């Protein structure tokens, strides 16, 4: 684990490494509390070790201010441990994979996204504070482009290109996988996104940072998004995950953009990942079936 978190660290984003440090902490805690030791030989890891670790996480009393680990969070910790064990296998430090018989059980949840009316409500909010306006506009930009917060933080004029037909595009590499095999993606800019780019052209904060938009820290952004959620009378808190889901579902898929195109614009390596982000809502099913009913009447 130390090898992974010092050497492999160079290939991963800081946000990803935070999760690996968290997994390492839980494994160390598990060893001390359940195995009554501070370390263990790789050769002693087996199926039982993995199962016992899972049970420990499920029964663990959370620290103050912490929530209990959900099923999917536990599966994430186990998956990270598995990736580190794969490094041991590749380096011939172990000969047997302790995870070979272990099956992950992920609970699929509906991903929250904004309805069109909710997106319009957020866009039309009368906000007094400049910081709130900036965070709201950045969030709306993400709803129309699918960019993650890390991408918006890096977005510069170099990423804005115009094709031979005069259409404006974003062309960049997904920050989440921005290592030697970074995933390149392209997004055709909608009028709403272009208007926001023009709005912040020459903004002092953006000019100073060399970015298209002025951007606040992750903590400040999340705090402002909570306030914006209340101002818009939403019964859930806004996050950039919701913005990407809104782009995938409300803005693109529900308006007939093929799944393959949405997958490319989101920078996904597999269309299966895009299917997780998207969901067909009852309103869409109703609309499609009514259209079918009219066609059958005319047949």
Domain boundaries for CATH 1.10.443.10 within the chain: 116-284
* pTM listed for this prediction: 0.68
pLDDT reported for residue 208: 94
Q: Which residue has the higher pLDDT, 170 or 281?
A: 170
The residue-averaged pLDDT of 16-20 equals: 89
Mean pLDDT for the chain overall: 87
pLDDT reported for residue 179: 40
How far is the C-alpha of 4 from the C-alpha of 78, rounded, in Å?
Answer: 15
Q: How many CB atoms lie within 10 A of CB 296?
A: 8
pLDDT reported for residue 174: 72
Segment 66-111, tens digit of pLDDT:
888 899 999 999 999 999 999 999 999 999 999 999 998 877 666 6
How far is the C-alpha of 218 from the C-alpha of 224, rounded, in Å?
Answer: 10
Confidence of residue 178 (pLDDT cuts 50, 70, 90): very low
Segment 130-166, tens digit of pLDDT:
999 999 999 999 999 989 898 999 999 999 999 898 8
How far is the C-alpha of 132 from the C-alpha of 222, rounded, in Å?
Answer: 11
Q: Which H or E run contains 222? A: helix 218-231
The residue-averaged pLDDT of 48-55 equals: 95
Long-range contacts formed by 263-272: CB under 8 A, 24+ apart: 264/185, 264/186, 265/145, 265/146, 265/185, 265/186, 265/187, 265/188, 266/146, 266/185, 267/173, 267/174, 267/176, 267/177, 267/183, 267/184, 267/185, 268/183, 269/177, 269/183
How far is the C-alpha of 88 from the C-alpha of 30, rounded, in Å?
Answer: 20
Q: Which residue has the higher pLDDT, 255 or 195?
A: 195
CA distances (Å), origin 216, targets 38, 100, 123, 209: 41, 44, 19, 11
Among 168, 174, 177, CA closest to 146 = 174
How far is the C-alpha of 141 from the C-alpha of 202, rounded, in Å?
Answer: 17
Confidence of residue 211 (pLDDT cuts 50, 70, 90): very high
The residue-averaged pLDDT of 31-59 equals: 94
Percent of the chain exceeding pLDDT 70 equals 90
In three-state secondary structure terms, 188 is strand
Q: Identify the CATH assignment for 116-284 out of 1.10.540.10, 1.10.443.10, 3.40.50.450, 1.10.287.130.
A: 1.10.443.10
**Residue 115 class from Cβ within 10 Å (0-12 exposed, 13-18 middle, 19+ buried)?**
middle
Lowest mean pLDDT among 111-120, 178-187, 285-294: 178-187
How far is the C-alpha of 288 from the C-alpha of 261, rounded, in Å?
Answer: 20
């Amino acid at each position: 684990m130390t090898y992974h978190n010092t050497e492999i660290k160079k290939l991963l984003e800081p946000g990803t490494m935070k999760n690996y440090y968290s997994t390492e902490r839980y494994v160390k805690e598990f060893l001390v509390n359940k195995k009554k030791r501070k370390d263990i030989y790789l050769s002693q890891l087996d199926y039982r070790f993995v199962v016992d670790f899972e049970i420990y996480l499920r029964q663990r009393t959370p620290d103050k201010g912490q929530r209990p680990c959900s099923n999917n969070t536990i599966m994430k910790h186990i998956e990270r441990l598995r990736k580190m064990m794969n490094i041991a296998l590749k380096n011939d430090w172990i000969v047997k994979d302790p995870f070979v018989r272990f099956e992950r059980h992920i609970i699929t949840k509906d991903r929250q996204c904004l309805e069109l009316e909710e997106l319009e409500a957020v866009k039309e909010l009368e906000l007094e504070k400049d910081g709130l306006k900036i965070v709201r506009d950045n969030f709306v930009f993400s709803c129309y482009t699918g960019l993650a917060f890390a991408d918006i933080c890096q977005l510069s004029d170099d990423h804005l290109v115009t094709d031979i037909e005069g259409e404006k595009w974003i062309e960049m590499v997904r920050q989440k996988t921005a290592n030697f095999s970074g995933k390149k993606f392209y997004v055709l800019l909608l009028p709403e996104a272009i208007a926001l780019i023009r709005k912040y052209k020459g903004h002092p904060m953006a000019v100073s940072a060399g970015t298209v938009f002025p951007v606040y820290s992750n903590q400040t952004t999340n705090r402002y998004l909570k306030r914006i959620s209340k101002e818009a009378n939403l019964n859930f808190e806004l996050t950039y995950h919701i913005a990407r889901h809104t782009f995938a579902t409300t803005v693109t898929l529900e308006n007939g953009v093929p799944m393959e195109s949405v997958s490319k614009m989101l920078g996904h390596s597999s269309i299966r990942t895009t299917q997780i982000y998207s969901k067909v809502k009852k309103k869409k099913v109703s609309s499609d079936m009514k259209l079918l009913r009219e066609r059958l009447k005319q047949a």
